[in-house]
Amino acid sequence: DVLDPERLIQCPYNKHHRIRACRFPYHLVKCKKSYPEVAKELATCPFNARHLVPQADLSDHIMKCNDKGFIEQDIVNQSSGFQREQMNAVSTWQAPPCDEDWET
């Protein structure tokens, strides 16, 4: 199950490391420091920072990344929600009473 926090994920820095999903972000930070040479060769997916792939494979990963759909859907939802808000927005602003008489 993809949402199971106890499932094991393979570390991109050391293939022998298998980390529980709930600890994976913390492990990535720690392991990146331990393996700086490997870190230089990996690129981070723009849709999910947990996806570290070889730099040469990044464009292919971006095309196939499952998380891309979530981001695209969020953008569509936000823009349509913003348009609805703009159409439904009614200004409640009223000018304050004015005691000045410019004619006098």
What are the pLDDT digits (tens) for 62-102?
A: 999 988 888 778 777 777 665 666 666 677 778 888 888 88
Domain layout of the chain by residue ranges: 8-68
Q: Any alpha helices (H) in the chain, and if so which ranges?
A: 24-34, 36-41, 58-64, 67-88
**Cβ within 8 Å of residue 49, ≥6 positions away:** 25
pLDDT tens digit sequence for 22-57: 999 999 999 999 999 999 999 999 999 999 999 999
